[in-house]
Structure 1
C-alpha cells in the first residue's frame, strides 16, 4: 500500500491526508471542485496529487470523506470504478439538531454504502469517532473500525497503524450502526458535558 485516495476536501480529508503524508504514503485528493482538490493537494505538499471525480481512484484504499447525504450517491456514481478497492466510510448520519441518527434502526450509512458498492469493494467503517483536531501531529487517538471482510480490515488496520494511530477492531459491519451512535454521543458530550471537541473516545485497559 503506497497510495491512498481521499474523496472529499474537508477538514477530515485534510487531517487524514496530513497523517498519511507523514507516514510516507502518497495521497490522491479527489473532489467535485477541481480547484479545491488542487488547493488541498498543494497544502499537503510532496506526495499529494489530484484525481478526477468519477474516474477510477489510484489508491487501493479509498477514503470516503464526504457529507453523509452524499456518501451513497458518490459510491453509486463511481460504480465499477471502485472495483477491487477497500472503501473506508468516515461519515456520520447525525440529524440537524444532533438528537438522533437519520438512518433507521438496524442499519447504518456504511451498510448502505456496501449495498451500493461493487461486490469486490469491501466497506470498512473507521475514523468516524474522531474529531479532526485529534488527528493533529503528535496525537495518537484510538481508531475504532468495523467491517465484514477480514482482509480489508487487516489492510485498514495496517493503514491506521501507519498513521501512528492505534487500530481497534469493533467487529462486523453491523457494528457500524453503533459506531455512528458513538459519534452522536461524542457530539453531545462536546456540547454539554465537555464543552469542546478536544477529546477522544479511547480504550484504556485497567491495571
Structure 2
C-alpha cells in the first residue's frame, strides 16, 4: 500500500518504522527539513515533501499532527477535494490536559468531525490508545498477550486496509463498529493520557483480553 503521513513526530516515526519494509511511504509536512530528516532515517526509499504531496501520494493518509492542527493540516493537504476517496487514518486524541476530558465537536468525536469536513474520504480511527513507545515495541505484547488495537469506521474496505496495518505492527485488530464509536475510543484514550501524565510508565495501555483467541 502507499501511505502518506502528514506529520513527522514520534507517532509518525514509530508507525512508519513498522510499515517501511512492507509498504511505500511518504513523509509530508510544513517543515520540509523535519520531513526529510524522518524520511532519511526510515530509509532511502521513503519520499518526503509537503502535505499536499503526501495526500496525493497515499491511498492511505495518516493524520499524524497534534489534534489542534488536524484541520489546518487537511487544508494544507488541499482540502476535501484532494482527500476524496482516500482512506484517512485518524490517530489523534482531542484531550484537554487541564481536566483530561475528551473534547467533542457538537457532541461528536474528532474522527466524525474529520469525516464531516472531508465527506468523500473514508475515515478510520485507530492507533490512538497509547503513546509512541508502545508502537516501538517489537511486537507490542503485554503479559504474553498481543496488544489489541480497536478501530472503527463506516467503510469496510477502508477498515480492512487499516486492519492489515494493525497486524503489520504485530497487534491484533478488533473492529468495534461504525465511526460513531470513536466517541468511545477518544475518552478511553484520555484515561491513558491522564495516567501517563501523572507518572505512570510510558508502556501503560488498556488492552482488550480475548480468551477465545488465547486458547487457539
Superposition TM-score, scaled by structure 1 size: 0.90
The 3 A distance-change label for structure 1 pair 200 and 146 is same
CA RMSD of aligned residues (A): 1.8
* Separation in structure 2 between the aligned mates of residue 162 and residue 20 of structure 1, nearest angstrom: 7
Post-superposition Cα deviations, 1:59-91, rounded to whole Å, max 9, x if no partner, equal 211100011111123223422111221000011
Q: How many residues are paired up?
A: 203
**Misfit runs of 4+, over 6 Å:** none
Alignment of 1:167-178 (within 5 A): 167-178=173-184
Judge which range, 145-154 or 155-164, deviates more: 155-164
* Separation in structure 1 between the aligned mates of residue 202 and residue 128 of structure 2, nearest angstrom: 14
Alignment of 1:75-94 (within 5 A): 75-77=74-76, 78-79=78-79, 80-94=81-95
Superposition TM-score, scaled by structure 2 size: 0.87
* Separation in structure 2 between the aligned mates of residue 35 and residue 203 of structure 1, nearest angstrom: 39
Equivalent residues of 1:89, 1:123 under 8 A apart: yes
Aligned to 2:152: 146
Aligned to 1:131: 131
Matched, 1:183 2:184: no
Give the secondary structure class of the aligned counterpart of 1:176: helix
Aligned to 1:48: 46
The 3 A distance-change label for structure 1 pair 34 and 196 is same
Aligned to 1:20: 19
* Separation in structure 2 between the aligned mates of residue 144 and residue 95 of structure 1, nearest angstrom: 22
Q: What are structure 2's unaligned runs of at least 5 residues? A: 141-146
Matched, 1:39 2:44: no
* Separation in structure 2 between the aligned mates of residue 98 and residue 35 of structure 1, nearest angstrom: 35
Judge which range, 125-134 or 55-64, deviates more: 55-64
